[in-house]
Structure 1
Amino acid sequence: MLRYTVKRLLQLSVALLGLSLLLFAWFKALPGGPENQMLPENATLDDRAALRESLGLNEPVWVQYLEFLQRVVRLDLGSSLSSGRPVATELADRLPATIELSLAAMVIAVGIGIPLGYLAARKRGTWLDFAAVSGSLIGICIPVFFLAAMLKVVFAQELALLPSTFRLSSGLQYTDVTGLRVLDGLITGEFNVAGDAFLHLILPAVALSSIPLAVVVRITRASVLDVIGEDYVRTADSKGLKPAVIRGRHVMRNAMLPIVTVIGLLLGSLFAGAVLTESVFSFGGVGSFVYQATQERDYPALMGFILVIAVSYVVLNLIVDLSYGLLDPRVRVRK
């Protein structure tokens, strides 16, 4: 397992290096150069020269790339053109909100999607299977921002059952430990804060989970159907093993490989998908910050966001690869 992990870490390093090259090339390829995008139209030649000097744009390309790598390693992503604060600080302040929302959405998608997909496979051809497949198609087709707006109108404005904006009610005092409001409330014993944060989390998490839930249902159903038809499952059944043992040891464990792959990719995509959802609910996470940066052409902020998203994808893929080795030891031998 150690050799398998080291090999995956080396592949991770290569992927991150390639990512840095792409980001550097994108920054250099901005129309008119980075200085034209980061300065107002009435900037003087001296202003442009000073900015080029501060960004190291007068150096050879390979020197600029090495300096860019050094800044990224130090998490020096420059300053936001919108707020004037360091991009790393902005992301650090807002990232916990996006992580909390993404994890809540994934819990919904996995907690409902895997059991529902399994039942749809076991009851293939029944009304339950038809309802699960039809529901998953609807979930994939509905745009997230439209579903978020509808949930907000119905449950927050019309029925007044749930809050519609922000992470906490106005004026509520809380102790910040991890940045995850629900978890912080439980850790510090501020259960009123945890409950209030949970209520604020429901609508955006449900909206954000719609597409991952639909995908998990369909992948689980297809994967379970493939495994159920295998010879080792029929052999286990003919031996008289208990259904619970067959489901857990022979069906679900082998069916989980493609499901884990999809979950890892979906979790990474949730960070990008949170942009629209957070904007609808004014959630205050990275998505809201990126939406504002897009409107104001805040390229340092956008580059920092792209870096966070890309690194999260790479790290999640590493976790998925390592989980393969735990679920199926044969993977470690083949890879």
Structure 2
Amino acid sequence: MLRVIGKRLLLLVPTMIGLSILLFAWVRALPGGPAVALLGEKATPEAIERVNELYGFDRPWYEQYFIWAGRLLQGDFGTSIQTSRPVVDEFMRRFPATLELSFLALIIAVGIGVPLGYFAARRYGKVSDHASVILSLVGITIPVFFLAFILKFIFAVKLGWLPSDGRQSPRIDATHPTGFYVWDGIITGEFDAAWNAIVHLILPAVALATIPLAIIVRITRASVLEVQNADFVRTGKGKGVAPRTLRTRFIMRNALLPVVTTIGLQAGLLISGAVLTETVFAFPGIGSFLATAIFQRDFPVLQGFIIFIALAYALINLIVDVSYTLIDPRVRVQ
């Protein structure tokens, strides 16, 4: 197992090098530039030249890349052009918000998607099965930003049941030692602050969870359908295996591998795909800050944040691969 993990971590090195090259080229290919975004369209050529010289954007592209890559290896991700703060500090300020949002969205997607997909497979061909297929198709096709606006209009504006933006109400005077507002409220005993943070998470988490939920339902349904018609399941039935054992140890355990793979991929996408959701709900996470960085041509933030997200995505997939050995002993033997 340790050898497999070591190999995967070694493969991560050329992957990140290739990503850094592509990322550097993509950022430099964006129309405009940091100087124009910072100074405005009416900025003089002399002022633009001074800003480019200040940040080193007037140097050859290969020289810029090697300077950036060298600093990256030393843990220096640069300084944000927007805020003049280190990119690492900006990321650490906003990552807890995105992680809380993604975690709740994943709980919703898995907690509803897996049981619903299993139930649909067990009721194959019936009304409930057809309804789950139709609802999953609707969930996949509805754009996240459109659903976010609908949820915000109905539950925040019209009904007033839930807050429409932010992580916490301004009236809440809470301490945040870790930056995870829900956890901070629990460990400090400020349970009203923790509940208020949860309430603020509900609408964006539901909007963000819709597409992963629909995908998990479809994958779970297809996987369970395939396994429950397998020969070893029919053999178990013929030998009189208890229905509960048949469902848990024979069907569900063997159907989990593709489901776990899907959950891992969706977890990575939730972290990287919260841009629209955070923007609609004015949620101060890495997604909304990344969107602002694109418009402001904040190269250090774009490069640093995307590298961070790619590392998180790769580590999540590594955890998923390791979890295979816990689900299926055959993977452990291989």
TM-score (ref. length: structure 2): 0.90
Do residues 120 (structure 1) and 120 (structure 2) align? yes
How far apart are 1:21 and its partner, in Å?
A: 2.6
Contact kept in structure 1, 2:34 and 2:297, CA below 8 Å: no
Unpaired runs of at least 5, structure 1: none
Structure 2, gaps ≥5 residues long: none
- Residue 5 of structure 1 corresponds to 5
Q: CA deviation at 1:231?
A: 1.2
- Mapped partners of 1:49, 1:98: distance in 2: 32
- Separation of aligned partners in 1, 2:27 and 2:138: 38
Given residue 47 of structure 1, which amino acid in structure 2 is its aligned partner?
R
Q: How far 1:224 moved relative to its partner?
A: 0.6
Partner-residue secondary structure (3-state), 1:81: coil
Q: CA deviation at 1:56?
A: 9.1
Name the residue aligned to 1:156: 156
1:51-62 matches, within 5 Å, as 51=54, 54=56, 57=59, 61=62
Compared with structure 1, are the counterparts of its residues 29 and 332 closer, same or farther at alpha carbon in structure 2 (3 Å cutoff)? farther
The answer as to whether partners of 1:30 and 1:37 remain within 8 angstroms in 2 is: no
Residue matched to 1:230: 230
Between the aligned partners of 1:31 and 1:203, the Cα distance in structure 2 is 34
Tell me the equivalent position of 1:102: 102
Mapping of residues 141-290 of structure 1, within 5 Å: 141-290=141-290
Cα deviation 1:307-331 (Å, max 9, x = unaligned): 1222222111111111122222333
CA 1:272–1:4 in structure 2 vs 1: closer, same or farther (change >3 Å)?
Answer: closer
Letter in 2 for 1:160: G
Cα deviation for residue 30 of structure 1 reads 5.3
Identity of aligned residues (%): 53
Closer/same/farther in 2, CA of residues 329 and 307 from structure 1, 3 Å limit: same
> Hey, what does 1:297 align to over in structure 2?
297
CA distance in 1, matches of 2:207, 2:30: 34
In structure 1, what is the Cα distance between the partners aligned to 2:39 and 2:91? Answer: 22
Q: Deviation of residue 26 (structure 1)?
A: 3.2
Distance 1:38 1:300, change over 3 A: farther
What's the TM-score, normalizing by structure 1?
0.90
RMSD: 2.4
Task: Indicate the residue corresponding to 1:42 in structure 2.
Answer: 44
Q: What is the number of equivalent residue pairs in this alignment? A: 331
Partner residue in 1 for 2:23: 23
Q: Which moved more, 1:94-103 or 1:42-51?
A: 42-51
C-alpha distance in 1, partners of 2:127/2:115?
16
Question: How many Å separate the matches in 1 of 2:178 and 2:230?
Answer: 46
Would the alpha carbon gap of residues 178 and 32 (structure 1) be closer, same or farther in structure 2, given more than 3 Å must change? closer
